[in-house]
Structure 1
Amino acid sequence: MEDINEICSSCQKDMNNILKQFKNDIIRIRLGSQSLLSFLEKIKIKYYDDFVDLIKIANISILDNMNLTIRPWDKSLISIIDKAIIDSNLGLMPTNKGEYIHIKIPIMTEEGRKHLIKKIKTETEQSKILIRVIRKKYNQMIKKKINLSQDILKKGEHHIQKITNNYIQKINEIFILKEQEILQI
């Protein structure tokens, strides 16, 4: 029975890792300036024959939910930063104000929100598939234990199914909360 408990514990750890990754992926998806901040910070800018993250050479400020400013410490980088933002394919049109760059974030349309929900739904389904793959892997591990009686084998499989159902339910709950957040106007 100890073998079954170890297998179930390992199964739960693996599924928990999938849940954590799913949460991280979903949390990053937000509307407005706060959501773009994490993407902008990682844009690579050519600076003295090296590529560095934008956050390391400029101050990024959130003015409100739909406006950002980027103030580089070296003003000669403004045009380079401007071009890098356009090349990043984030759908942003920066405005060079001389001293800083202003970015106005377009208001998301109903169609854009639906597209975002589709994307999240796809990630949700992929996470559920990964959970089921883990379930299959650990069920096969239980079946390979030769010295187990049929009753213990069935209990182990039942326990792994309960763990699987629990994690799929958690994934569904996260999806529903995110869907409500996106549809809220």
Structure 2
Amino acid sequence: MVRQCIDQNLLMGVCHTEKVLHRKEREQTLEEALNSNQTTYKPRGIFSAGPVELLEELEDGRMLIQVNNEVRLQLGEEKQTLPFGIWACEELVDEALDETGELALNQSQSKILQRLLAVTHGNEDAQDMLNSIHWRSMPAQTFSFAVAGLLGMPPETSQALLEMTSAQMRLDTVLEMINTMGTALS
């Protein structure tokens, strides 16, 4: 799957799963596992996808990869099941914002950055990262996904954020989480 994504410039989806569809039948050696079907899962209907970057190929055939999630997709029709799933998908876009909505979104982004700076007081690396041009100049809609990745949340929560089509709702949820975290740390 990784090779095909790289060779054909295909996006690879990264998703949470709903349930196990088929379990591998027995324990396998590493070589068997690398050359046979493993446990398969039913993917969640909304997920992220992006191009695959091969960082390192190990001597035993395993690969260290990075998927640079660039798009949020909704599953459509399954085109291929084995040896791995290929799906027709549609991009899931956020609700459009008017000027007032954009202003509120930018204000929420600023509040979150300030709150994170307060919560991470004393952690120089976190402070430097949050004060970087990268984080300060990030568009608010992009920020609403990126900041969620910093918080290490349960899969159900990150899936719920991914499914929200309102960037303001995502930022409100993240701010509430940070405030709860900050209270627990105090």
Q: TM-score by structure 1 length?
A: 0.28
Q: Which has the higher contact order (CA 8 A, sep 6+)?
A: 1
The structure with more helix, counted as a fraction of residues: 1
Greater Rg over alpha carbons, structure: 1
